[in-house]
Every structure is written in structure tokens, then in C-alpha cells.
Amino acid sequence: MTPSDPQTESSQTNPLRDRSRVRRVPERGTHERDVIDRILDEGLVAHVGIVQDGQPFVIPMVYARDGDDLILHGSPASRLMKILASGAPCSVTVTRLDGLVLARSTFHHSMNYRSVVVLGRARVVEDEAQKLAALERLVEQIVPGRSADARGPNAKELKGTLVLRLALSESTAKVRSGPPVDEDDDRNLPCWGGVIPIEETFGAAIADDLSAGDPTPGYVTGYARP
Amino acid sequence: MTPSDPQTESSQTNPLRDRSRVRRVPERGTHERDVIDRILDEGLVAHVGIVQDGQPFVIPMVYARDGDDLILHGSPASRLMKILASGAPCSVTVTRLDGLVLARSTFHHSMNYRSVVVLGRARVVEDEAQKLAALERLVEQIVPGRSADARGPNAKELKGTLVLRLALSESTAKVRSGPPVDEDDDRNLPCWGGVIPIEETFGAAIADDLSAGDPTPGYVTGYARP
């Protein structure tokens, strides 16, 4: 993984500006929505960048994809949410690490990964029914089946939650996969080359004191990402 | 995980400005360097935020901690590296996800996580010996033992790599751990509550064609994060 900027080609779904081109190793970049959507649907955390007084801040947030939007939420009192809600430019990045790539030269060491960078300006979801739907989508993207069991937000909680949408119209995926790529001169070095796969796995669920001894729901015992 | 801003208390190692206070759920924040260092030493990817023409960009990068600095590297031709090398303000965030926290209300659903936000301005490492040492540190943080086997950078590769250091002087960790915290009124709901642990695991190494049949180095077969 090296510094990467979002690819030249534009598509109907993703009209791109110059700032969204992938300049570094452009063959790794794509604006194909199915590639983008798969990465976004698998991820659990986004890194959200905003600017305040010229200083960037990058903060981890949960998110969901809902069609052509990302959904973000948080406290109306948070600085980050206030800046996002103002419609200021933001950058939302989701990264999945797939492997450590060990080449015969340290220079060609790399990582296998899939990442999506979304640029844009968030918009506030004001309508109560739409807020509820977005929050349910958020729960369902992270733990499918959970919203049927857990109590949904009451009026006070709903008021205390700011819900934002960010269009995927300016989004780019970048993917590196496969074995190391070595210089020809290095291929005879007595040095092992290959990939150490990285996986995100989920351990046995830990019930809290109130649920000790209760049956664990199937959506918890069988938890996996798409 | 909800929007979080870097805590009120300051320490000798981390003289903090107002912008680095943890405002949201401040009991989750800390400036203790041992907490910060452990998170940074475990992580494999940082999300680096910079600003160009008012637009933030958040890009995944490999990194290493070397004492009181982070080390970053990349191509001198990359936009991200050019902006970082200019000494422009940046934000570097490392996040480790530890669990999905399932409360009895969707409002109190959360994630267990550990994150570090570093604010500052990078400086370019110009000295060749220091560049080489920083690049070796980068390899060794990611795959300890590897630099003894792989060929180190030659003059051309070294020239084609920009190496940056970013001081940890303005850095903040934020940590959430443990079971869900429910409203008293929700404790009798017939709903399972607890945590689904998240782990980063490493699969069996995949040798490339050149190394097929060769013995796999111990630092690969026994690969684990600290």
C-alpha cells in the first residue's frame, strides 16, 4: 500500500473531477460501483476526514451503505458532526487489508488491500421517518437481523442523533491483490517470497451478565461479513 | 464508536492544544504514551488526512512507530507525499476494532475499539543513512526479521522513496472496551446483549511460484502482531 490518489476514466455513475483520478499506480484504481459497493458492504469502520481552520482531522466512524449513499450518524454536539452537517467537504475512506506481500527486495514489499475513498459533502436527514429508516439500515448493515430484537430509538434518542447521508457519486476503489512483483535481477536471490493472508475473524460471542445462560441469537453465533 | 475528538488533561509528553481535547465521551480518551504506543505498534495501516484546496483527502498508508515519531514513506511523485513533505498540517489515525457491542436498544449499540489520532506536520528525512534506517524500521515493524533476508534499497530505489517523520507530540488515544451499557428501563427487555469479538488473524502463507517448495521462514509461519 502506497500513497494513492483516486483514476482517469469516468463513468455514468461516477462523473469524476480531476481530484478523483488515481494518479499513483492507476491500474489499481476503479470507479466501478460493484467493486466499490462490495468493499463498502464488507467494511465495519470508515475513516472520516474533515477540515477545521486548515487542520485536517481523521476520525473512525461506523457507517452503512444505503443504495447510492453512505449513512453516518453521531451526536449533534460533536465537532465532527457539526462540521459534516454544515455541508463542508469531507473524505470518507474504507480499507480492507487482505495480505502482507513479501517481495525479494524491501522496496517491492507491499500490502494486498481494497480501499474506497468517497469525496463530497454530507447532507442532514431531517425527516423523522427517514432518520429511523437510516438508523435501522445502519444496525442491519453491521448486524443483520438485530433490528428485529433490539429496541429502536425513542423520541429523545432520535432527537439526540444526527443522521447524515453522503452520496457515492465521487467515489473510487483501489485494489492490490496477488503475489509479489520482483525485479528480474532479484528473482535468483535466496529469499522466500509470497503473501501472508490477513483476515478479519469473529470470536465466540460474550454474553453480558443479564444474558448469561440465555440462548444466543443465530445472527450472533453465525456472524460473518458479506 | 461514535464521532470522537482528541481529552482535556495534558501531560508532559503530550502538550496539548484545545484542538486535541477529547470532547465526546472524554472518559474514553487518554494521552498516555504507553497506551498510544501499544495501539500504534499493533496496527498495520494508518489513515492519513491532508487538505488540498480546502478538500480533505484520507488515504490508507503503511507506517511504523520509531520512538517518538511515526515513519511514513511513498513516491516523491505522489500528491499526498508532496503535500505531507511540504510540512502542511496532517492527521494520522490508526484504529483497531475489538468487538461489536450489542445493547438492548439500538441507540446504545457500539463498537469496542482502540484508536490513535496524531496531529502535526511531517518532516522529510534527507540524510541517506537515516532514510535507510527508517525504511528498515518500517519493514521490521510490519514483518520482524524480514530485513535480514530481503534485499535492502539500492541507490535508485532510495532516491525514489520519500521518507517522512511525524512527531507523536500531539497524539491522543481513545478506547472503548467491555459489555454494552443499557438504560435501566431496557434491562428487562427479552433481548440478548453482549459482545462479538473481532480479531485480525493471519492465514497460512502463500509462497509465490519462485518459492514453491522452499522452506517458509519462521517469521512468516509464526506471524503475529505484538
* pLDDT tens digit sequence for B180-206: 999 999 999 999 999 999 999 999 999
- Of A191, A224, A179, which Cα lies nearest the Cα of A205? A224
Class of domain A18-183+199-221 (CATH, top level): mainly beta
Q: Is B183 helix (H, G, I), strand (E, B) or coil?
A: coil
pLDDT of residue B30: 84
Mean pLDDT, residues A93-120 = 98
At residue A16, what are phi and psi to the nearest 5 degrees? -110, 145
CA atoms A138, A143, A147, A151: torsion sign: negative
Residue with cell 530485513: B147
Confidence of residue B29 (pLDDT cuts 50, 70, 90): confident
Give CA torsion, residues B129, B147, B62, B198, to 10 deg.
Answer: -150
pLDDT of residue B9: 29
Q: Which amino acid is at A60?
A: P
Which cell numbers in the block locate residue B219?
517469521
Confidence of residue A172 (pLDDT cuts 50, 70, 90): very high
Q: Closest partner residue to B51 among A51, A93, A220, by Cβ?
A: A51
> SS3 sequence, B144-180?
CCHHHCCECCCHHHHHCCEEEEEECCCEEEEEECCCC
**Contact between A179 and B209 using a beta-carbon 8 Å cutoff:** yes
At residue A224, what are phi and psi to the nearest 5 degrees? -155, 160
pTM of this structure: 0.91
At residue B162, what are phi and psi to the nearest 5 degrees? -95, 130
CA–CA distance, A118 with A98 (Å, rounded to integer): 20
**Contact between B45 and A194 using a beta-carbon 8 Å cutoff:** no
pLDDT of residue B15: 41
**Interface residue A155 vs chain B (CB under 8 A):** no
Q: Is the pLDDT of residue B47 over 50?
A: yes
Specify whether the backbone of A25 is left (phi greater than 0), alpha (psi in -120 to 50) or beta.
left
Mean pLDDT, residues A4-30 = 53
Tell me the shortest Cα–Cα distance from A78 to chain B, in angstroms: 6
Mean pLDDT, residues A159-173 = 97
Tell me the shortest Cα–Cα distance from A66 to chain B, in angstroms: 18
Q: Is the pLDDT of residue B18 over 60?
A: yes
Chain B residues close to A42, C-beta within 8 Å: none
Confidence of residue A4 (pLDDT cuts 50, 70, 90): very low
**CA distances in angstroms from B96 to A48, B36, B198, listed in the order given:** 15, 12, 9
Note whether B163 and B71 are within 8 A (CB): yes
**Contact between A102 and B3 using a beta-carbon 8 Å cutoff:** no
Which cell numbers in the block locate residue B6?
482528541
CA–CA distance, B1 with A62 (Å, rounded to integer): 6
Q: Closest partner residue to A196 among B5, B161, B205, by Cβ?
A: B205
Mean pLDDT, residues A99-122 = 98
Q: Is the pLDDT of residue A66 over 50?
A: yes
Mean pLDDT, residues A51-78 = 97
pLDDT of residue B17: 57
**DSSP assigned state of A112:** E
CA atoms B102, B105, B106, B108: torsion sign: negative
- Of A89, A93, A3, A90, which Cα lies nearest the Cα of A39? A93
Q: What average pLDDT is seen over chain B?
A: 91
pLDDT of residue A17: 58
Burial category of B60 from C-beta neighbours within 10 Å (exposed 0-12, middle 13-18, buried 19 and up): buried
pLDDT of residue A23: 66
Q: Closest partner residue to B211 among A135, A151, A193, by Cβ?
A: A193
Chain B residues close to A189, C-beta within 8 Å: 151
Note whether A120 and A101 are within 8 A (CB): no
Chain A residues close to B55, C-beta within 8 Å: 19, 89, 91, 119
Tell me the shortest Cα–Cα distance from B190 to chain A, in angstroms: 8
Q: Are strands B29-30 and A171-176 parallel, antiparallel or unpaired?
A: unpaired
Confidence of residue B143 (pLDDT cuts 50, 70, 90): very high
Q: Which amino acid is at A42?
A: E
Tell me the shortest Cα–Cα distance from A35 to chain B, in angstroms: 18
Q: How many CB atoms lie within 10 A of CB B130?
A: 12
Q: Which CATH architecture has domain B18-221?
A: Roll (2.30)
Which cell numbers in the block locate residue A206?
460474550
CA–CA distance, A144 with B100 (Å, rounded to integer): 12
Residue with cell 450472533: A220
Mean pLDDT, residues B90-106 = 98
pLDDT: is B135 or B17 the higher one?
Answer: B135
pLDDT of residue B181: 97
CA–CA distance, A29 with A175 (Å, rounded to integer): 7
